[in-house]
Amino acid sequence: MIISLSGAHGSGKSTIAQMLADKLAWPRYYIGGLRREAAAKKGMTLAEYNKLGETDPSTDQEVDEYQKKLGETQDNFIIEGRTSWFLIPHSLKIYLDVNEEEGSKRVFSQLQHKNNRNEDKELDTLESVKESMNKRLESDRLRYKKYYDIDVNDVKHYDFYLDTTNLNREEVFNVVYEWVKEQLDKGKN
């Protein structure tokens, strides 16, 4: 079984993906991390790399081909990426949502406690984080519509949807894990 996670910025995708991988003892693939690495190799921030991707499909194609191949050759893993549900259609598709205000707060808090990798350097206020998230969302929408004719934020594409706005990480994990466990049990029968 393959579990794909997507969702809004700050919804807890990375945290829940890692918690699921740990609980199930499955590998986790983080597509955002691969895109950040590719951007860094070009000396770009993720925002700059996404902007380049609006006219250069190769920025998405490399990681997208990687995801497709994973879905064709491996099983029992967690994959976190905006297009993973589309590129691995037989995966269990989970979408985590959060309202913009709470998502921005979570991302801002994370940036304060982490090495900012290759994020924009001016993400030093809540407002700048919110603005950056909106630009990234727009770039994602444009690229995925242009290259695949899909809307990755349309929840009808997913098997499971959860709004995490008013939940802490343990509550989110418990709800998601219970649903995943049900699906795993169904698969064994």
pLDDT at 85 over 60: yes
CATH number at residue 20: 3.40.50.300
CA neighbours closer than 13 Å in the CB half-sphere of residue 3: 28
List CB contacts of 42: < 8 A, sequence separation 6 or more.
49, 52
Tokens of 103: 């998502």
Compute the residue count for the chain.
189
Query: What is the per-residue pLDDT for 188?
Result: 65
165 lies in some domain? yes
Structural domain count of the chain: 1
189 lies in some domain? no
Distance CA 125, CA 131 (A): 10
Over residues 41-74, the pLDDT tens digits come to 999 988 889 889 999 999 989 899 999 999 999 9
Counting residues of the chain whose pLDDT is more than 70, the rounded percentage is 94
The model's pTM: 0.88
Domain, as residue range, for 105 = 2-184
| pLDDT bracket for residue 114 (50, 70, 90) | low
| pLDDT bracket for residue 111 (50, 70, 90) | confident
